[in-house]
Structure 1
Amino acid sequence: MRFCLTDDQRALREGVRGLLERRFGPGPLRAAAGAGGPPRLDRSLWRALGQAGFFALRLPEADGGVGLGLPEAVLAFEEAGRALLPGPLIATHLAAGTVPGAATGETVVAAVDGGLVEWRAEADVVLGDPAGAEPLRSLDPLTPLHRIRGGRPAAPDSVAELLTAAEQLGTATRVCELATQHARTREQFGRPVGAFQAVAHLCAGMLVRAETARAAVYAAAVTADPVDIAAARLLADRAAVRSARDCLQVHGGMGFTWESEVHLHLKRAWLRTHRAGGTTESEERLAADLLADGA
């Protein structure tokens, strides 16, 4: 069976991308990453996301939401991952139907996830028990972290897991774009570096990983099956981390500079692999399903 996006889904994706390009393009991204000190959440951008329906996409229209489904949410979060949009996006989205103001972006919601809390200091509401939270140095300069000492990991939420996979897919797609653009324009020995076989193979591998992950993530959004979501999560995590590393390889030392967003994608991709149960939980779920089929 062939799955294709509808015209409305394409319009949604383009609308979210346009909003993020206007409000959080490469310039603001680099400025925020290189500002120094604890990152601050842009409340005006958060409210703009709320007004655009980003947090209320899956909330029924009768409750003031947009009334769409999981596939549309995946498209929106893929664009957020592509833009490296900071903030507790998934926690606020999941709280849209229960926490007043979350759907409109007036309330910022964070959540305890596996003993970690993203954006605790900037959140108006923290779901879970944040008692004893201590600041933790974050690998990603745009994602402040707190650690809950002695906290017990909660059972991962399948929707949170899928939306994390969608963000990882966004990163995998973006770093593939950045690598191919650089390979076409950067010259060595009088030729674009993309003309060299080693670089061409790196770019091809990025494209294959991104498109494989895309098929799995979109399919999981349609079925909402936990096993499909686990598979999509594994493929998206691998695509994001491996492709960001390969993108750095294509860029060389330039990829590590603050003028480049490449290293920021790698850091965010690493951080996301620890969310919503992480890689181990997904592997265990797939293994259990395979053993059950073989029994």
Structure 2
Amino acid sequence: MSEENEFECRVFPSAADDVEHAKRVECSKQLMASSAFRLAYDDKAFVLRDEMRPVRLLLELSKTELILNDHNINNTVVMFGSARMLRPKKAKKQLFEAKQLLAQQPSNPDFKRQYKQAKIRQQQTDYYIQARALAKIITEQSMLGDIPNLYVITGGGPGIMEAANRGANDAKGKSVGLNIILPEEQQPNPYITPELCFRFHYFAMRKMHFLLRAKALVVFPGGFGTLDELFETLTLVQTKKIKPMPILLFGKAYWQRLLNWNVLTEEGMINEDDLNYFSYVESVNQAWEIIEKHVKGLRKLHRDI
């Protein structure tokens, strides 16, 4: 060991060193089997106790934070949307199969319903294509160095999340996936950068990490989960808990059918100015222009300061 490395050595053994040392301690099997005798941080049963929930929350916050810092992931574009949207080829196949079944039994109500749903899924593939294209542009442009490095971050699952991670992968760039453990397992999509694919137990910690580095939020059509994430962000901006950022709702027709914002203003539940916290976008280029303008403005502001 060089003199310089020797100078930088820890005075105390690391936690990992002590875990290994504890395994070599000579004592009775009865003691070794005792939970009390195990190091607290190496005692799974202890860490998983209900009373240790605050510690587990901190672990979920800290693990992701440290790894993202290690990879210099400082600026992100969050992309939300339904996990149910299909890849174009799969949607086309499902529509073909549903059409065949309906042709065989035109009066079958189940086949009518399947065909109707398959047609909707086929139409929704436009959102998959747009999410993939936007993520590719974001990644490509940030890799050129004209703007601060932006990394696409998603919930890590299928549908729109897959499309966004896939677009970043198309550009040969990194992207982040924040998976959540659910009773019906959400499988991570194969396009996330492996060393940036995380798993969460707590929705709260996952949603915090979506926004900690966010410079823009792009929301494609989705269900309860997408709405939850959208409204949490709007609430944080409205209450000035986070700084304003572009919140882009992709597909004006969908969002206006789903949400009657005018009811909120007419009933005095929000101010009319609150409707300025988000914008509708219809194209990849339109979304990118807004994001690019915002991040360039942030860079100029930082330089001026």
Q: TM-score, normalised by structure 2?
A: 0.27
Q: Mark the structure with the bigger radius of gyration.
A: 2
Q: TM-score, normalised by structure 1?
A: 0.28
